[in-house]
């Protein structure tokens, strides 16, 4: 397969409701899609970086720049393009895992469409549908939170995740437990606490949470290992797990009992599968995290979530959790599950009119 060029497509999609986390409030998704054109087929990639470097050091403008100046030219230099070789070709450039993941995803999609194979087949999916959880933001009041949670439970979500931060943690969890009983429940701090908060975070232990996600800062792996010894609630890492190597170190150091796998954060779906395999070998449950992907990234995430080690519901929510209109046929919850796409590659393609309506800029990178 030979690369003809890559189209960078900037899109802006309004969120159905503001989404507040410990690092800020989002009201729209400024994202970057890649259309990878080869002599055999076209493929789509989605970069999960946010507009601002608040979740991680990456941000959309930087991803577009590093793809334009370094990553796409690096692929152009190779003659027989092979998705499994992309990570190696991009390795000389440090970091920028979300940008690299988007490019690898586009090449993999093109290759699989040309071969007539789905992401699910390529990654090793063993289920044809996956149970879905939902991530619930920080709200202005407990009653507002309880209404939002009730709505998602009515929609059929299998698991509730509450965003927390200092000042919004024990009470919201207590309120959800008191109102909704033993619903599968977990929390995500997005690095908002420090080890000094250990005693306070232990106040979450009586609520039988599935996990507490990323309580401490990304690089504080040892801190998470210390914290885990003070909590009954299992510690799950998100931001800290950027590769199979970092997953191995975190597991060995006792920093996490569960891993949130996000293909964009770790450099792509192939690295995500390696992390899955590593966690399974170590008896560490995994689940698929979300970065408010469009239906393109959502399709690939649902395929990944169908691998055997994904034993916990992920943040693979329906399109309607975030967007009134998706750029693909929307993913709709069916009895708390999403169906794994079966078509070649991602199994979905952007809808021309919907994509045009949200496109803010298009750049063609010829190679
Ligand atoms: C579903 C969920 O909670 N995702 C991230 C946080 C997050 C929150 C808001 C975002 C807005 C734009 C892009 C990525 C974003 C990621 C997490 O698990 O930590
Ligand atoms: Mg998280």
Q: Which residues contact 27 (CB under 8 A, 6 or more apart)?
A: 14, 15, 18, 19
**pLDDT confidence of residue 80:** 85
* Residue 136 C-beta-side C-alpha neighbours within 13 Å: 28
Give catalytic residues, as residue numbers: 163, 262
Measured by CA distance, the residue closest to atom 3 of ligand 1 is 135
CB neighbourhood size of 283 (10 A): 9
**pLDDT confidence of residue 77:** 81
Strands of the sheet containing 133-136, edge to edge, are 133-136, 159-163, 185-188, 212-213, 235-237, 258-261, 286-288
* CATH code that applies to domain 121-339: 3.20.20.120
Measured by CA distance, the residue closest to atom 19 of ligand 1 is 190
Cβ(29) – ligand 1 distance below 6 Å: yes
Q: How far is the CA of 161 from the centre of ligand 2 (A)?
A: 10
Q: Which residues pair with 258 in a beta bridge?
A: 236
Q: Are 309 and 286 in contact (CB under 8 A)?
A: yes
pLDDT by residue (tens digit) across 147-161? 999 999 999 999 999
Q: How far is CA 338 from CA 131, 152, 155, 314, 341, in A?
A: 7, 15, 12, 11, 9
Cβ(190) – ligand 1 distance below 6 Å: yes
Secondary structure of residue 262 in the 3-state scheme = coil
Is residue 304 scored above 90 in pLDDT? yes
Q: How far is the CA of 366 from the centre of ligand 2 (A)?
A: 36
**pLDDT confidence of residue 62:** 98
pLDDT by residue (tens digit) across 71-119? 999 999 887 899 999 999 999 999 999 999 999 999 999 999 999 999 9
Residue 186: phi and psi, rounded to 5, are: -145, 170
pLDDT by residue (tens digit) across 291-300? 999 999 999 9
Q: How far is the CA of 296 from the centre of ligand 1 (A)?
A: 16
Cβ(314) – ligand 1 distance below 6 Å: no
| Mean pLDDT of all residues in 228-241 | 98
| Mean pLDDT of all residues in 215-222 | 98
Pick one of 3.30.565.10, 3.10.180.10, 3.30.390.10, 3.90.220.20 as the CATH number of 3-116+349-366: 3.30.390.10
Q: 332, 242, 265: which is closest to 295 by C-alpha?
A: 332
DSSP secondary structure, 267-279, as one string: TSHHHHHHHHHHH
Cβ(238) – ligand 1 distance below 6 Å: yes
**Which regions of the chain carry the CATH code 3.20.20.120?**
121-339
**pLDDT confidence of residue 43:** 98
Band (238; pLDDT cuts 50, 70, 90) = very high
Is residue 199 scored above 90 in pLDDT? yes
Atom number of ligand 1 nearest to Cα 19: 9
Task: Tell me the best of 289, 292, 316 to mutate to test the pocket of ligand 1, counting ligand atoms within 8 Å of each CB and taking the most.
Answer: 292
Cβ(239) – ligand 1 distance below 6 Å: no
Query: Which ligand has the minimum distance to the alpha carbon of residue 240?
Result: 2
| Mean pLDDT of all residues in 220-228 | 98
Cβ(297) – ligand 1 distance below 6 Å: no
Q: How far is the CA of 213 from the centre of ligand 2 (A)?
A: 6
Tokens representing residue 57 in the block: 């050091």
| Mean pLDDT of all residues in 7-24 | 98
H helical segments located in the chain:
60-66, 72-76, 83-90, 97-115, 119-123, 142-155, 170-180, 198-201, 221-228, 244-252, 263-266, 269-281, 295-304, 352-358
Cβ(240) – ligand 1 distance below 6 Å: no
Strand pairing report for 185-188 and 159-163: parallel
| Mean pLDDT of all residues in 267-281 | 98
More confident residue, 290 or 76: 290
Measured by CA distance, the residue closest to atom 12 of ligand 1 is 50
Q: Are 186 and 159 in contact (CB under 8 A)?
A: yes
**pLDDT confidence of residue 329:** 98
**pLDDT confidence of residue 78:** 80
**pLDDT confidence of residue 192:** 98
Mean of pLDDT over the chain: 98
């Amino acid at each position: 397969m030979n690369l003809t060029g890559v189209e960078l497509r900037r899109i802006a999609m309004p969120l159905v409701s503001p989404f507040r986390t410990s690092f800020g409030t989002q009201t729209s998704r400024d994202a970057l899609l890649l259309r990878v054109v080869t002599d055999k087929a076209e493929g789509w990639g989605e970069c999960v970086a946010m507009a601002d470097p608040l979740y991680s050091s990456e941000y959309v403008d930087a991803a577009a720049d590093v793809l334009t100046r370094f990553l796409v030219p690096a692929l152009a230099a190779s003659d027989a393009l092979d998705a499994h070789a992309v990570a190696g070709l991009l390795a000389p450039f440090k970091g920028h895992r979300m940008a690299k993941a988007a490019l690898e995803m586009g090449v993999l999609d093109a290759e699989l469409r040309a071969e007539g194979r789905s992401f699910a087949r390529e990654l090793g999916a063993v289920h044809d549908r996956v149970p879905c959880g939902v991530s619930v933001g920080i709200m202005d009041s407990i009653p507002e939170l309880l209404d939002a949670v009730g709505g998602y439970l009515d929609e059929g979500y299998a698991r509730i995740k509450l965003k927390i931060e200092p000042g919004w943690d024990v009470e919201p969890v207590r309120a959800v437990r008191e109102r909704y009983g033993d619903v599968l429940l977990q929390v995500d701090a997005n690095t908002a606490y420090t080890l000094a908060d250990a005693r306070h975070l232990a106040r979450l232990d009586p609520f039988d949470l599935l996990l507490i996600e990323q309580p401490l800062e990304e690089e504080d792996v040892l801190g998470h290992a210390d914290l885990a010894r003070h909590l009954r609630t299992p510690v799950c890492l998100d931001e800290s797990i950027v590769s199979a190597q970092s997953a191995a170190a975190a597991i060995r150091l006792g920093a996490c009992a569960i891993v949130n796998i996000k293909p964009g954060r770790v450099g792509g779906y192939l690295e995500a599968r390696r992390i899955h395999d590593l966690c399974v070998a170590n008896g560490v449950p995994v689940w698929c995290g979300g970065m408010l992907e469009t239906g393109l990234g959502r399709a690939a995430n649902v395929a990944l979530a169908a691998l055997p080690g994904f034993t916990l519901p992920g943040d693979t929510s329906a399109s309607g959790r975030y967007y009134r209109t998706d750029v693909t046929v929307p993913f709709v919850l069916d009895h708390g599950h999403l169906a794994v796409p079966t078509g070649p590659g991602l199994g979905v393609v952007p809808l021309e009119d919907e994509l045009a309506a949200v496109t803010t800029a298009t750049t063609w990178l010829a190679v």
